[in-house]
Amino acid sequence: MSPSASSEIKPRLVRCPACGGDSLYAPGNPFRPFCSERCKNADFGAWASEGYRMPATPPLDGDPLADEVA
């Protein structure tokens, strides 16, 4: 891609995954896809405190796949 072609790409407005507001998805937004540092940090805090954990059930005894998962 030539330098002139990359300057012609229009920035997009996307929905911020944290607050649902508008977010500029472009190199000029250092927090993309988030709208602000606050939303980016809130999402990271939820991730770091395992807020996005998926519920799981322990494997059954004798399950041949249990050894592969662990």
**Domain presence at residue 25:** yes
Confidence class of residue 15 from pLDDT cuts 50, 70 and 90?
A: very high
**Domain presence at residue 61:** no
Of residues 67 and 25, which shows the higher confidence score?
A: 25
By the 8 A CB rule, do 7 and 1 touch? no
Q: Which domain CATH number covers 39?
A: 3.30.50.10
Judge whether residue 70 has pLDDT over 60. Answer: no
Counted domains in the chain: 1
**Domain presence at residue 29:** yes
**Domain presence at residue 56:** no
**Domain presence at residue 3:** no
Interval 17-66: pLDDT, tens = 999 999 999 999 999 999 999 999 999 999 999 888 888 888 777 766 66
Domain residues for 15?
A: 10-51
d(CA 68, CA 70): 6
**Domain presence at residue 2:** no
For residue 10, what pLDDT is reported? 81
